[in-house]
């Protein structure tokens, strides 16, 4: 009987560390300064989309993204994580997440979480998140996105796409034609 308890005790001791292996997400990339007086439409009649390039320094799984975003409750927001090896969005898509607007409904420039249901595995390198509205472009199909102040730099720039502009991602620039970035946080569960 004592032999059975010893084996059971050993099994409990061996599996206990496995139960506690789930690591908490860590902040992997960010630009937290929000210019509360400056916001722009995501979606709308121009079907505006945005992207932000960021750099990761360790491997792991991206758990979630934080953005200063306020959405109409009936829209569907589409978020993608893409590779950006040249510092420009448009590489291989690693993940796509659809988020209902009511989850991102609020009236201020506070960060809201977009949790990834299937966290993409990543290695060190340059990536981009892209964000847009799913569905037909119209004036009531939009979100408000706050940006960072002009002159803030991160490991990558922001880009946009809008109806009526040349195709492809264009650099997001301020009135002095200097690159802008979005306010954001990216969280990673390290390997």
Q: 14-50 pLDDT, tens per residue?
A: 544 444 456 899 999 999 888 776 678 888 888 899 9
Between the alpha carbon of residue 168 and those of residues 30, 148, 154, the distances in Å are 25, 22, 22
Q: How confident is the model at residue 3 (pLDDT cuts 50, 70, 90)?
A: low
The sign one gets for the Cα dihedral 5, 11, 17, 21 is negative
Return the beta strands (E) in 57-164 as ranges: 60-71, 76-83, 93-100, 111-115, 121-122, 125-134, 142-146, 158-161
Q: 174-188 pLDDT, tens per residue?
A: 878 888 889 999 999
Give the pTM: 0.84
**Which CATH number is correct for 23-190, 1.10.101, 3.20.20, 3.30.70, 2.60.120?**
2.60.120
Of 188, 185, 144, 172, nearest to 33 (Cα)? 185
Dist CA 94 CA 14 (whole Å): 35
Dist CA 189 CA 23 (whole Å): 6
pLDDT at 5 over 60: no
């Amino acid at each position: 009987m004592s032999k059975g308890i010893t084996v059971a005790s050993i099994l409990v001791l061996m599996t206990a560390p496995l139960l506690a292996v789930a690591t908490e997400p860590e902040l992997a990339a960010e630009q937290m300064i929000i210019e509360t007086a400056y916001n722009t439409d995501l979606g709308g009649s121009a079907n505006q989309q945005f992207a932000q390039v960021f750099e990761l320094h360790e491997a792991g799984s991206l758990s979630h993204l934080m953005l200063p975003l306020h959405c109409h409750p009936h829209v569907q927001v589409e978020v993608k994580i893409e590779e950006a090896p040249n510092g420009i969005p448009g590489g291989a898509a690693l993940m796509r997440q659809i988020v209902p607007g009511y989850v991102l409904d609020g009236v201020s420039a506070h960060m809201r979480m977009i949790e990834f249901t299937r966290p993409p595995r990543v290695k060190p390198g340059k990536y981009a998140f892209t964000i847009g509205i799913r569905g037909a472009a119209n004036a009531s199909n939009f979100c408000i996105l706050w940006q960072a102040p002009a002159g803030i730099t991160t490991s990558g720039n922001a880009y946009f796409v809008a109806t009526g502009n040349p195709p492809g991602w264009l650099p997001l620039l301020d009135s002095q034609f200097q690159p802008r970035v979005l306010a954001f946080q990216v969280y990673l569960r390290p390997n």
